[in-house]
Structure 1
């Protein structure tokens, strides 16, 4: 009988980052669509509406290059922002990631 190889699924990575700023300041930074966002490699977020199901793209300031695409999964203003993302330069469509930014008065964490 042939052996069936089942690929192992890696454990999810969890990163916690503390930022000395209010939850509102961090929220405004990670959801803005005008000037480039330093935390997103100086790209601009393009999104029609900040709501679940909306498509988002991280584009160069001149709009000529799209480095990341995804969909918004959850929005709780000033508390939680969750979305998928995929780097456009990767040919593997299964290389889809989910990031969750949970904000509180004491700390900001991103998973």
Structure 2
């Protein structure tokens, strides 16, 4: 369930909480992979120059290596409990928001919180991010617990090879270099 937090008129925060029946290290290691397409991140591969660490530039790229879908800067990287980065979709010309992934050990597994902070109320980015929270949480949970993503993730991965054909030119990887 996506739960808005706070009363701010211009900036919003949203949190989803998901129980994953796996050790915290398993959830963390899956979440921060940088060497393969991640179905819970819409098939993107996390790309960095120097690894995930505070201050590092990161981007989520299409498996073809031809498109950058999301760009940002790592704000917090505290294994295995907290990872945060700015989040700007390359096909939306709006200010970035912030994503926070929080993990906590609980009886029988891991509590996974996905938090969106500083999303401009009513923006396209806010709408896309809030819409993606459930997808991310469901597909991460399914992948870890069953070894394969949820149906929505499997369908997206099947369609992935054709997505670059329909992407705007502004999303081309050369337009979004890592600093």
- Shorter-chain TM-score bucket reads 0.7 to 0.9
Deviations 1:51-100 (A, max 9, x none): 100000000112111100000000111111111111000022x2x11111
Per the TM alignment, residue 44 of structure 1 is displaced from its structure 2 partner at its CA by 0.3
Matching residue of 2:44: 43
Which ranges of 4 or more aligned residues in structure 1 deviate by more than 4 Å?
none
Residue 12 (1) aligns with residue 19 (2): no
Residue 101 (1) aligns with residue 105 (2): no
In the aligned structure 2, how far is the partner of 1:25 from the partner of 1:104?
12
Per the TM alignment, residue 11 of structure 1 is displaced from its structure 2 partner at its CA by 3.1
Pairs aligned (count) = 102
The 5 Å alignment of 1:1-111 reads: 8-47=9-48, 48-92=50-94, 94=95, 96-106=96-106, 107-111=111-115
State the secondary structure of the residue aligned to 2:40: helix
Asked whether the 8 Å contact 1:23–1:108 carries over to 2, the reply is: no
State the secondary structure of the residue aligned to 2:28: helix
Unaligned runs of 5+ in 2: 1-8, 116-179
Work out which structure has the larger RCO, using CA pairs closer than 8 Å and 6 or more positions apart in sequence.
2
Say which one has the larger Rg. Answer: 1
Deviations 1:18-49 (A, max 9, x none): 22222111111111111111110111000122
Unaligned runs of 5+ in 1: 1-7
RMSD: 1.2
